[in-house]
Structure 1
Amino acid sequence: MPKANNAVASKARRKRVLKKAKGFWGSRGNILTVVKHAVDKAEQYAYRDRRVKKRTFRSLWIMRINAAARLNGTTYSRMINAMLKKNVEIDRKALAEIAVKDPAAFTVIVKSLFE
């Protein structure tokens, strides 16, 4: 009896992996065994970096807030402390956005914290 190899599913599986490797350089994009490893690693990096992105953006917001705070005669640390004491609940993302887009409004916020 001939061996059944389910070629349709096998080809679909190979095609799916190769599709994920579109744009990969050299054998990482067209030799199946290498492609499998390359795609696995790419997915690991993608998973990790979706989490790292959150840290990176928080760090960026803090830098922007600190720069704007220093223009207003205080520091990020003192400003956040004052916000906690006065129960002002503006998140860092919004605060950074205000600092960049509307410096006058940011100045008003800083002044209100230290009155």
Structure 2
Amino acid sequence: FRYAKDAMMKAKYWAYRDRKTRKRNFRMLWVQRLNAAVRAQGFTYSRFAEGLKASGIGLDRKILSDLAVTDEAAFKGIVDQVKSALEKKQNESKSKKAA
């Protein structure tokens, strides 16, 4: 009976730990997928994330990585919006420096 109890405690420990780890692993996977898809479009992931914020696109990493894998045309449209938002942001910063 004692060994069964110990096995159950250990199983609960591993289950708890892995529930936390699974979230981390999926987030890393989504970021890797996004990085690969965005680099194919001529960006880095960090610039893409900056452009997402500047353009006001509220999609999360999970949805974006799913779009990058399944619907390349929609993802390309998002990347184009991000490019225009980054260009607009860059032009605004240049005009502020000139003034």
TM-score, normalised with respect to structure 2: 0.80
**What residue in structure 2 maps to residue 46 of structure 1?**
15
Conservation of the 8 A alpha-carbon contact between 2:51 and 2:82? yes
**What residue in structure 2 maps to residue 109 of structure 1?**
78
Aligned counterpart in structure 2 of residue 62 of structure 1, from 27, 31, 35 = 31
Q: Percent identity?
A: 44
Any unmatched runs of 5+ in structure 2? 85-99
Aligned counterpart in structure 2 of residue 74 of structure 1, from 40, 43, 63 = 43
Structure with greater helix percent = 2
Higher relative contact order (CA 8 A, sep 6+): 2
Larger radius of gyration: 1
For residue 108 of structure 1, what is the amino acid of its counterpart? G
Please tell me the root mean square deviation across aligned C-alpha atoms, in Å.
Answer: 0.9
Query: d(CA) in 1 for partners of 2:57 and 2:79?
Result: 11
Query: d(CA) in 2 for partners of 1:81 and 1:42?
Result: 41
